[in-house]
Amino acid sequence: MPYYFMDSTYFLFILPALILGMVAQFMVKNRFQKYSKIRAGSGYTGEAAATRILRENQLHDVRVEQTPGSLTDHYSPKEKVLRLSDATFASPSIAAIGVAAHEAGHAVQDATGYLPNKIRAALVPVAQIGSSAGPYLAIFGLFIQSTTGDLLFNIGIILYFFALLFYLVTLPVEFDASRRAIASLDQSGMLSSEELKGAKKVLNAAALTYVASALTAVLSLLRLILLSRNRRR
């Protein structure tokens, strides 16, 4: 996400969100590494945990595959593929099982037509344009002292607003996937009550990264609007 140029509004609106984002990233890596070293008593691997949750929800058409990297885990609704990173796929750790269950939760959301998930999927095309082109159009419009500049600014703001909606609707999607993950792991006994606490810490840290992204998007939009008002004075 571009941050345009630095002025007083940058330090007021953007810097705090960037700091929160860095803290969130540090927490995710720290907690994942910590609980990656603790083996779950059940002996389940990330792949086995995800597969069990999928089968218990009758999702026989979803494949579980290994993908390179660490924390690159994701679910692809178009391909019906749940991809687990090298650090998750074959690991029997608390962290791996928690992350795998979270991604399986996204597959369940897709299969059950979870509304926020459907809204997020619909927003993807325009959100991608909005996040990449919207801020630049708005800033470019600010430097043009004419009705054309106002038009460009307004178009940029509208485009970026759809990106903001995407970030905001992502929050309930991610929180719900984690809720489903913890419930599944608890009911199935794949993690004990004490082990669940560790999995929750990993998933809560991951959720904070989405909160930071949403906050950055909100503050970026407010900053653009403030810059526009200052220009018109």
- Residues labelled as active-site residues: 103
Q: Which parts of 59-202 are beta strand (E)? A: 63-67, 74-76, 81-85
- The residue type of 63 is R
Nearest to residue 85, comparing CAs of 66, 104, 98? 66
Cα radius of gyration (the chain)? 20
Q: Name, in order, each residue with C-beta under 8 angstroms of 7's C-beta and a sequence gap of 6 or more.
A: none
218 φ, ψ to 5°? -65, -50
Structure-derived torsion over alpha carbons of residues 93, 47, 57, 181, reported in degrees to the nearest 10: 30
